[in-house]
Amino acid sequence: DIQMTQSPSSLSASVGDRVTITCRASQSISSYLNWYQQKPGKAPKLLIYAASSLQSGVPSRFSGSGSGTDFTLAIGSLQPEDFATYYCQQSYSFPYSFGQGTKLESK
Amino acid sequence: QVQLVESGGGVVQPGRSLRLSCAASGITFSAYAMHWVRQAPGKGLEWVAFILYDGSNKYYADSVKGRFTISRDNSKNTLYLQMNSLRAEDTAVYYCARDRLSGSGNRVFDPWGQGTLVTVSS
């Protein structure tokens, strides 16, 4: 089974900051990597798919990169609505798996 | 627009069974594979099960294999999760999500339902 590891587990930042979150797979997953955003009490929402493709309707300050085992989610200029928890997820092989999440908090 | 609505959650004793439903609208349900994903209180997301559009192929997380069964009724636009031999560690919000193929075989969960809470406790 493929293990996904995110870092950091939590992150404090301010509006206007640029932040990056990393995700590492325990084996190569090519570009079968997706990112989701979840706000408290809500269902997750797809942000980035296939490592670097922006989901329709998602602001362009979000971007993804990477392939193989190492991936990055970047938020270009934090907005108040971006404070949430972010998860990476591999769809290379079943059983699918998520990273443990990165909680982005306001400093 | 696409809407997924889960139901069937509640409080159940360890060892008992529960069946969750996910009613889909706004999509051609029979054309899409579907997933169940769960989230224990205060914890991260855990993928649970997958079913192909016609029910011909299914996959499960090791943690539920042999106890949970995913199924669908395309005539009713409804996805199910039959959960047997429930354990305290199955306590979670259970989400259904549509499977969507993006490009070269990459699958995503999009959209998700609002979730239904299952509490396993005596």
Please say whether the beta carbons of A67 and A30 come within 8 A: yes
In the block, residue with structure tokens 């990273």: A99
pLDDT in tens, A34-66: 999 999 999 999 999 999 999 999 999 999 999
Residue B93 has pLDDT above 90, yes or no: yes
Chain B residues touching residue A36 (CB < 8 angstroms): 45, 109
Are residues A50 and B106, on separate chains, in Cβ contact within 8 Å? yes
Which CA distances in Å does A54 have to A63, B7, B92?
7, 31, 29
pLDDT range class, residue B110, cuts 50, 70, 90: very high
User: Which residues of A make CB contacts under 8 Å with B?
Assistant: 1, 31-32, 34, 36, 38, 43-46, 49-50, 53, 55, 87, 89, 91, 94-101
Mean pLDDT score across all residues of chain B: 97
Strand order across the B68-73 sheet: B3-7, B18-25, B78-83, B68-73
Contact assessment for residue A44 and residue B45, using Cβ atoms and an 8 Å cutoff: yes
Reported as a single tens digit per residue, the pLDDT across B50-70 is 999 999 999 999 999 999 999
Q: State whether A43 and B102 contact (CB < 8 Å).
A: no
Q: What is the mean pLDDT of residues B85-97?
A: 98
Phi, psi angles (nearest 5°) of residue A82 = -85, -10
**Which of A31, A44, A91 lies nearest to residue B45, judging by beta carbons?**
A44
CB pairs under 8 A between A and B: 66
Alpha-carbon distance of B31 to A100, in angstroms, equals 31
Token pair listed for B67? 């106890």
Option in A43, A89, A99 nearest B95 (CB):
A43
Q: Is the pLDDT of residue B103 over 80?
A: no
Q: Give dist(CA B122, CA B101) in Å, integer.
A: 41
Distance CA A41, CA A69 (A): 31
CB pair distance less than 8 Å for B112 and A87: no
Condensed to tens digits (0 to 9), the pLDDT of residues A5-38 reads 999 999 999 999 999 999 999 999 999 999 999 9
Q: What is the pLDDT of residue B104?
A: 80
In this prediction, residue B105 carries a pLDDT of 84
